[in-house]
Structure 1
Amino acid sequence: MNEQRIVNGLSVDVEDWFQVGAFEKTISRDDWDSLQLRVGDNVARILDLFDAAGVRATFFTLGWVAERNKPAMRAIVERGHELASHGYDHTRVFTFTPDEFAADIAKARAILEDAGGVEISGYRAPSFSIDQRNPWAHNVLAEHGYAYSSSVAPVVHDHYGWREAPRFAFDPVPGSDLVEIPVTTAIFRGKRLAAGGGGFFRVLPYGFSRWAIRQVNSREKRPAIFYFHPWEVDPDQPRVADAPLRSRLRHYTNLSRMEGKLSDLLGEFAWGRMDELAAIEKARSMAWAA
């Protein structure tokens, strides 16, 4: 049952199996072109899954991937979804200078717009890497005319997190058109819990995500922001045997169950594109300001 018809934000972070943060110290970027590309076929599976559920979503895509998978980019757009930026090659934003970040998002945007034939107005930082160390990144995005970012995880995590950030959409650059839409968290006994998808959705029981989204929709009357990756619906992907045990457990657990859990989630709640949600959230913030 859709919770009070609140439309939640559905998103896919489009990167291939070897580009994830868990393997960044194991697999060199110099080796990427020698590895098996599987993201195109996995995007096709996800598009079919979304069609079957009758939902539309946003695909935050690496420029590196778009360069090598132009048919997939066109398919995303032609089937009614939003194509948005995930940066060029999954470099974490807090490792950039402002000028380097500006160059990265400009490069990725040009590639994505060429591949998809549409204007790119949304951005998600790799590994939610806009936090208290680099709030200047929002200024750079605003200067480059982005309508929204979904780059903040307002939790504590070993790979990312901005604990003090607002849990829901906020204006990170006063006076600009940019709105930041953090990934979803839920509250349990006064503590914030990551509840926006990814590995948490795949590893934990489905009931946890149901509870969290219902809390956000019903109690707080706000949309949830959910994400996952194409490699998460690919149980036959290559194994990285020399990666740390923790990274392998995090990456490979429950891959075979992911597609079924997604089908349940898509059927139980209402979902839509992030650009449409961003417009609603921006209007909400303007109404509050007035």
Structure 2
Amino acid sequence: MSSLSDRRAAVRPRNAMSVDVEDWFQVQAFAGTLSRDAWEQYDRRVEASTDLVLGLFAAHSVRATFFTLGWVADRHPALIRRIVAAGHELASHGYGHEQVSAIGETAFRADIRRAKQALEDAGGVEVRGYRAPTFSIGARTPWAHTILAEEGHRYSSSIFPVRHDLYGAPDAPRGPHRPCPDGVIELPMTTVRLGNRNLPCAGGGWFRLLPYGPFRMGLRRVNGREAQRGIFYFHPWEVDPGQPRVSGAPRLSRFRHYTGLARMEGKLARLLGDFAWGRMDEVFAEEIAG
């Protein structure tokens, strides 16, 4: 006879857990402060922080999708192999964390092609998913989903239907959709509709800044009243409170980046326990196949 917890798990809708694998010095918030040309000089902490995430997922029997920079794969191939060996999906976050809307069609194609090759060489598996750095796919990049399909990807998770000063497409559909008929399916970040606005219900930054309760309530509403599956994401550097401090960055950037780092691991553990989670390609298998 199954236990009560087993029966509850069986009826809980499964959401998609995802990780954007990049190092602390590669974030968009510090792009105007830390030179891309100096990346090789900085202390790389992505391997240790991602290993911590892998351990957290293993403790909760969660398989997730790791949207990983090709830059990281070229320098930490053993980490990529550990991600794959643990049963997680390996997906692309592009190569050098450049915003799609800033680099244009030709450079975008070269970037995702280079990233896909680096990830597949390191992981030994096909890479089908893609997430744009800083959710930089939207109205200004109508060509992006078609190029992704042409380069062998099957889905994108690159749109956040909220208003934000760095990203956001508030008028985009909140659920899976195909922005163009010859492009890949788009699986947008989870939001909760309140009045005429979408409120974020995904993302490490929002998750660190806000109390846990609103996130739990929002995801329960998405799973229950809306009968939809959610998507959550965060970064490995968000469970690394000991990372270097960038004193020269703008005050707002420092506030967004460093607030709540010490509490993040514990909050993630609660989230992993309160909901059922899986890989993007499993939770949305039907949409991706279609």
TM-score between both structures, scaled by the size of structure 1: 0.95
- CA RMSD, 1 decimal: 1.3
CA-CA distance at 1:227 after TM superposition: 0.2
2:121 corresponding residue in structure 1: 114
Tell whether 2:279 aligns with 1:269.
no
Matched residue pairs, number?
Answer: 283
Q: Deviations over 1:118-160 (max 9, x none)?
A: 1100000000100111121011011112111000011111100
* Aligned amino acid, residue 281 of structure 2: D
> Which of 245, 263, 266 is the equivalent residue of 1:260?
266
> Which of 238, 248, 253 is the equivalent residue of 1:247?
253
CA-CA distance at 1:217 after TM superposition: 0.4
Structure 1 residues 278 and 18, CA, compared in 2 at 3 Å: closer, same or farther? Answer: same
Tell whether 2:282 aligns with 1:281.
no
Contact 2:162 2:170 in 1 (8 A): yes
> Which of 138, 142, 159 is the equivalent residue of 2:145?
138
**SS of equivalent residue, structure 1 residue 182:** coil
Structure 1 residues 47 and 143, CA, compared in 2 at 3 Å: closer, same or farther? Answer: same
C-alpha distance in 1 between matches for 2:152 and 2:36 = 29
Q: Deviations over 1:15-38 (max 9, x none)?
A: 000000110000000110000000
**SS of equivalent residue, structure 2 residue 25:** coil
1:75-154 correspondence runs (5 A): 75-154=82-161
Tell whether 2:214 aligns with 1:214.
no
**SS of equivalent residue, structure 1 residue 96:** helix
For structure 1, the 5+ residue unaligned runs are: none
> Which of 200, 225, 228 is the equivalent residue of 2:206?
200
CA-CA distance at 1:97 after TM superposition: 2.0
CA-CA distance at 1:3 after TM superposition: 9.3
> Which of 162, 166, 184 is the equivalent residue of 1:159?
166
Between 190-199 and 226-235, the greater mean CA deviation after superposition: 190-199
C-alpha distance in 2 between matches for 1:6 and 1:161 = 26
CA-CA distance at 1:93 after TM superposition: 0.3
* Aligned amino acid, residue 62 of structure 1: L
* Aligned amino acid, residue 20 of structure 2: D
TM-score between both structures, scaled by the size of structure 2: 0.95
Moved over 3 A (4+): 1-4
C-alpha distance in 1 between matches for 2:32 and 2:230 = 32
